[in-house]
Amino acid sequence: MKLFDTIIDATMAEVEKCDVKKLPVELSRAWPDNGASEFIMQKDSAFELGGGTNPSVNYTCVTTSPLMESDEILLAGPDLSEIKGEVPFARIVILQTEDLGDDSEEQYRAIRDMEFARYHVFPKGYMVRVSSMSNEEQVRVSKEALKKGISFAAVGASYIKKYKEVANVKHVRVIFLLQADTVTALKPYAGKVNDITKTLTHIFDNILADCGHCDMKSVCDEVEGMKEMHLGLAKKKDRKE
Ligand code: SF4
**Per-domain residue ranges for the chain?**
5-185
- Produce one character per residue of 99-122: b if its CB has 16 or more CB atoms within 10 Å, e if not: ebeeebeebbebbebbeebbeebb
Q: Check pocket membership of 216 for ligand 1, CB cut-off 6 A.
A: yes
Cβ contacts of 102-109, under 8 Å, gap ≥ 24? 102/232, 104/203, 104/229, 104/230, 104/232, 104/233, 104/236, 105/204, 105/233, 107/1, 107/229, 108/200, 108/203, 108/204
Q: How far apart are CA 19 and CA 15, in angstroms?
A: 8
3-state helix, strand, coil in the chain (%, to 5): 40, 25, 35
In this structure, the residue with its CA closest to atom 4 of ligand 1 is 209
Q: How far apart are CA 18 and CA 150, in angstroms?
A: 23
Q: Which CATH architecture has domain 5-185?
A: 2-Layer Sandwich (3.30)
Q: Check pocket membership of 230 for ligand 1, CB cut-off 6 A.
A: yes
Q: Check pocket membership of 234 for ligand 1, CB cut-off 6 A.
A: no
Per-residue pLDDT of the chain (241 residues; tens, 9 = 90+): 788 999 999 999 999 999 999 999 999 999 999 989 899 999 999 999 998 899 999 999 999 899 999 999 999 999 999 998 999 999 999 999 887 766 667 777 777 787 778 788 999 999 999 877 788 999 999 999 999 999 999 999 999 999 999 888 999 999 999 999 999 999 999 999 989 888 888 888 777 788 888 888 888 888 888 888 888 877 776 666 6
Q: Check pocket membership of 202 for ligand 1, CB cut-off 6 A.
A: yes
210 CB-near residues (< 8 Å, 6+ apart): none
In this structure, the residue with its CA closest to atom 7 of ligand 1 is 217
pTM attached to this predicted model: 0.90
